[in-house]
Amino acid sequence: MSRPVRPVRSVRPVRPVRPVRPVRPVRPVRPVRPVLLAMLLALPPLACRHGHEPSDPPPPEGGAEAPVGYPGTLRSPAELGPDMQWQQRVTAHWEGKARSFDAVLTKSGDELLLIGLGPMKRPGFVVSLRDGEVELDNRSPQEVPFDPGYIMIDVQRVFFPWIPGPAPADGERSHHRDGEHVVERWAGGHLVERRFTRDDARPPGEIVVTYEGWDAGSDAPRRATLDNGWFGYTLVIETLVQQRL
């Protein structure tokens, strides 16, 4: 005997599909100040949250647009004095903000090496200059969207000789080199200030480096401050330990 057929359940009405929200357009990426971003890459957990997005520097009056990038010529490390290794603390200031990291700067023969240390004193990035080539070993999760040579330019502007010949014990001296005018001020046999301006005023303004805390027999001061008027940031570099190799 066949079983009775169960009644078919009524089909529930299909819910209407919600309209898809329009996708917001992606904002264009603005140019990043090269050297400042390099400093922040040493702190990988902060790099994504505190990126800096400035406008390009204004063009000189009556001239064309200022070039994008950081002008300057890197010199061979063999020209930069004795071999050495310095342990440093770097603090970058811009628009009321500040970020710090530890670094090791080494000059050996024809090689200049900068290691930016992140959390647990592990390398966040390594920049090397040898045989006229700059190489970057980036160990952070962020890409570096600029020439790593920008980092080395700031290092050389602050710490290495720019004007040939003996320096005065007291007074000023100046020199033109690769399209830049460099002026130094000395007091008591120590460098106290160095200024860089572009001959073509592109970018306009100047870079000013000041030095304080020279110890007897030291190759670097305890504190150097680079005030970059071209791109609007300041680097305070404290040399904690220094030795010749």
> The domain containing residue 96 runs over which residues?
34-66+82-244
Residue 223 within any structural domain of the chain: yes
DSSP class of residue 21 equals P
Which pLDDT does position 101 carry in this prediction?
A: 86
Three-state secondary-structure class, residue 130: strand
Q: Note the pLDDT tens digit of each residue in 43-93.
A: 332 222 223 333 333 433 433 333 347 898 899 999 898 999 999 999 989
The number of angstroms, rounded, from the C-alpha of 219 to the middle of its chain's C-alpha atoms is 23
Q: Note the pLDDT tens digit of each residue in 87-128.
A: 999 998 988 898 888 999 999 999 999 998 877 788 888 999
Three-state SS sequence of 11-28 = CCCCCCCCCCCCCCCCCC
Pairing verdict, β 207-212 and 84-94: unpaired
Residue 6 within any structural domain of the chain: no
Which pLDDT does position 25 carry in this prediction?
A: 39
Residue 17 within any structural domain of the chain: no
In the beta sheet, which residues pair with residue 172?
A: 185
Which pLDDT does position 52 carry in this prediction?
A: 31
- Residue 40 CA to residue 20 CA, distance in Å, equals 39
Of the candidate ranges 2-11, 157-166, 175-184, 203-212, the one whose mean pLDDT is the lowest: 2-11
Residue 92 within any structural domain of the chain: yes
In the beta sheet, which residues pair with residue 231?
A: none
Residue 108 within any structural domain of the chain: yes
- Residue 39 CA to residue 90 CA, distance in Å, equals 8
Neighbouring residues of 27: CB distance < 8 A, sequence distance ≥ 6: none
Report the number of distinct structural domains present in the chain.
Answer: 1
Residue 11 within any structural domain of the chain: no
Does residue 202 carry a pLDDT above 80? yes
Pairing verdict, β 223-228 and 207-212: antiparallel
Q: How far is CA 142 from CA 40, 42, 89, 92, 121, in A?
A: 10, 10, 22, 18, 18
Residue 10 within any structural domain of the chain: no
177: exposed, middle or buried (Cβ count in 10 Å: 0-12, 13-18, 19+): middle
Residue 232 within any structural domain of the chain: yes
What dihedral angle (degrees, nearest 10) is formed by the CA atoms of 75, 166, 220, 72?
Answer: -30
- Residue 168 CA to residue 166 CA, distance in Å, equals 7
Report, as an integer, the average pLDDT of 215-238: 94
We report the CATH number of the domain holding residue 233 as: 2.50.20
